[in-house]
Amino acid sequence: MSECSGREEPLVYINGELVPKSDAKISVFDHGLLYGDGVFEGIRVYGGKVFRLDEHIDRLYESAHCIWLKIPMTKEEMRQAILQTVRANRLTDAYIRVVVTRGVGDLGLDPWKCSNPSIIIIADRIELFPSQLYENGIEAVIVSTRRNSPQALNPAIKSLNYLNNILAKIEAKSAGKQEAIMLTIDGYVAEGSGENIFIVKNGCLHTPPVYMGILRGITRGVVLELACKLNIPAYETVLTPRDLYTADECFLTGTGAEIVPIVAIDERTINGGKPGPITRQLMRAFRELTMTEGTPVYE
């Protein structure tokens, strides 16, 4: 199946209809726009197969449930709508963004005044980091913007309100680095601006536990599965900035980023400023898995 050519306008799914990108619009009174009131998922397509589709859909519905947002379609209907959108754009490798907002209301906060939730599905391409950085690694900085407290807005909810993450990304870019590392309110390592974080120390893999107030990343879970298969000891560990500085290896994971090595944090080099062997082993295993596993788009 050939990729959608640059001359063709992408189609976007909005509330049951596929419309050209230039006509893909929602009301300015939608609470997703006015207040970031909604949830989303990012999903990848590799070689005509949607990777971990059901896991992403489950997390989408969990996030919605946590904010008292009822998605007006079943999980199976959502699944078919996602596949339909990818097929309509004739994509074999893509990034899918699924957005569910509270819907149209008035200028007040009251969510009960909103009409039906808006459902938006976009299938397009994404490149969070230039390809050479996967080979050479990125530099990161620990930022002053702390990760949202679970007692305020739980990071386990993948909500449309990403200002916390954006402020962290701005700090990193202002420091001339590709990525931010965010700490919890108590000063422990949380995650990147949009990715989970891992370190390698003495041959063992470590990543912050979910109870520290981080997103339960799908790619994070895949890496833990791969580590088990590859006989790499893996632990959920409370980490400090010092643990990052003294790590043998470090990398980020996310649907958009996949697995990207970190070779320096706060100007402190890691593994001599190059990606480490366990990181590379996991990157290869992840790539192999994405080429063999997934929900077929075209049958």
Catalytic residues, which ones? 158
Residue 124, Cβ density class (10 Å: 0-12 exposed, 13-18 middle, ≥19 buried): middle
Which residues, 6 or more positions from 12, have their beta carbon under 8 angstroms from its beta carbon?
A: 18, 19, 20, 21, 24, 85, 120, 121, 122
Termini Cα distance of the chain: 11
Q: In this structure, are residues 12 and 24 in contact, taking their beta carbons and an 8 Å threshold?
A: yes
Q: In this structure, are residues 195 and 252 in contact, taking their beta carbons and an 8 Å threshold?
A: yes
The packing angle between helices 53-66 and 75-88, to 10°, is 120
DSSP at 116: S
